[in-house]
Amino acid sequence: MIAVKYKEMLGAKSVIRELSEYASARGREIGYENVFDYSLGNPSVPAPEKFKEAVMRLLTECDPMTVHGYSPSLGIPSVKEKIAESLNKRFGMNYTASHIFMTAGAAGAIAHAVRCVTVPGDEVLAFAPFFPEYHPYIDLSGARLRVVPADTDGFQINFDRLEEMLTGKVAALLVNTPNNPSGVVYTRETLERLAELLRRKTRELGHRIYLISDEPYREILFRGAEAVYVSSLYEHTISCYSYSKSLSVPGERIGYLAVNPACEEAETIVSMCGQISRGIGHNCPSSLMQLAVAEVVCETADLSVYETNRDLLYEALTSLGFSCVKPGGTFYIFPKALEEDAVRFCRRAMAYDLILVPGDSFGCPGYFRMAYCMGTEKVERSIPVLRRFVEREYGKRQGGV
């Protein structure tokens, strides 16, 4: 009587988790400071002081019955109003509270969005390289994830393959920019071309194609990268946001989903999200956390360390002969491995206490991901180790590092 579909999932191991567990075990052995753990995408800077102050103020100055009371099933209206206002100001949108649904991070937002705009059997397309948790979000909804192969030249969109795969079965596309794992930011040109294609295909296929935009790294954008708000280019966009990375509060499970007001079904989709939540017994994120993020809606943690680390690593990797697209945001970089089998490449790196994640998990074999959310000092110390690894294992002797 045990539900087979969930029991069977227990067998499948997450490569990232296995690597991270290995790194922890190795850390206990030789000291964690000696393990260069580039496996996990965990923010490495504290939440901003203003966030802490906001929580303390709510606890000491406000009625506990309000602060800890039930949230309305679609989220606290005053919180949603502040979020709408901030998005409108920054991105020239015209959201109101009725276009926003509060979620358990971007994860909850994507899982809800997929359930709203698909029926079982529908296809959702994502672009390699992609965050592997898209599989459970989509597969357990009854829809089917299909992966458009990567554009390995620049990790933008492989439009030829996309157009082939955009059949009548496709209900939605899932994009993620700035991207995990590549760190790449989609250009305005890419996003405009995508919007144009979706409009044309909507006409040709006779049904609306939704764009689900996964944006947990929206605020981690480096100099020179243009902040294009996906929804501003395509009306049938559901934006999925998380405060996990921008405020460094991943354990608080707080984010939202925002449906473009120009989408005819916008308010219906938000209301449907409330019904989906009822079914899983979720009923909104913590009221305290909703009220707290509304107080710091324009703040972020000090995210500058990620750009410093990107600069160091990009310089080191290219000097060592790696082929690598320069990240425009996030805290990831996604170089090409020095042998065809990236799993083997990453295994060889483990002997040097370098924990790298093979691109296979992200639908892009032959590459590997480094999550550089750590102190800059550690990144600096890892570079000679990386060089030793490359020189000894692959005989490369580029200078400059």
**Interaction with a second copy in 57-116: which residues (CB under 8 A)?**
59-60, 63-65, 67-71, 103-112, 115-116
Nearer to a second copy, 34 or 283 (CB): 283
CA atoms within 13 A on the CB side of 294: 22
User: Could you say whether residue 133 binds a second copy (CB under 8 A)?
Assistant: yes
Q: Which residues pair with 368 in a beta bridge?
A: 358
Which residue in 266, 182, 170, 176 sits closest to 230, CA to CA? Answer: 176
In the complex with a second copy, the residue whose CB is nearer, 21 or 189, is 21
What's the closest the beta carbon of residue 13 comes to a second copy, in angstroms?
12
Q: Determine how many CB atoms are found less than 10 A away from the CB of residue 191.
A: 24
Mark 319-358 with x for binding to a second copy (rule: CB under 8 A) and - for no binding. ----------------------------------------
Q: What is the dihedral of CA 287, 292, 298, 301, to 10 degrees?
A: -120
Quote the CA–CA distance of 81 and 140 in Å, as a whole number. 32
Nearer to a second copy, 55 or 325 (CB): 55
Q: Which of 176, 164, 160 is CA-nearest to residue 127?
A: 176
Q: Specify the residue, 67 or 147, whose C-beta has the smaller distance to a second copy.
A: 67
The total of other beta-carbon atoms located within 10 Å of residue 196's CB is 12
Residue 137 in the binding site for a second copy (CB under 8 A): yes
Structure tokens at 359: 């691109």
State the nearest-atom distance from the C-beta of 247 to a second copy, in Å: 8
Total residues binding a second copy (CB under 8 A): 78
Tell me if 191 contacts a second copy by CB under 8 A: no
Q: Is 167 in the site for a second copy (CB under 8 A)?
A: no
Our measurement of the distance from residue 279's CA atom to the centroid of its chain's CA atoms, rounded to an integer in Å, reads 25
C-alpha distances in angstroms, 326 versus 55, 143, 181, 305, 357? 37, 34, 12, 16, 18
Name residues contacting a second copy, limited to 5-64 (CB under 8 A).
Answer: 6-7, 9-10, 42-44, 46-47, 52, 55-56, 59-60, 63-64
Rule CB under 8 A: is residue 139 a binding residue for a second copy?
yes
Q: From 247, 298, 220, select the one nearest 49 (Cα to Cα).
A: 247
Q: Shortest Cβ distance from residue 39 to a second copy (Å)?
A: 13
Q: Which is nearer to a second copy, 242 or 382 (CB)?
A: 242
Nearer to a second copy, 281 or 395 (CB): 281
Residues 240-299 that bind a second copy (CB under 8 A): 248-254, 265, 268-269, 271-272, 275-276, 278-289
We find the least distance from the C-beta atom of residue 63 to a second copy, in angstroms, to be 8
Collapse the DSSP code of 332 into the 3-class scheme (helix H, G, I; strand E, B; otherwise coil) and give the result.
strand
Contact status, residue 143 vs residue 118, Cβ threshold 8 Å: yes
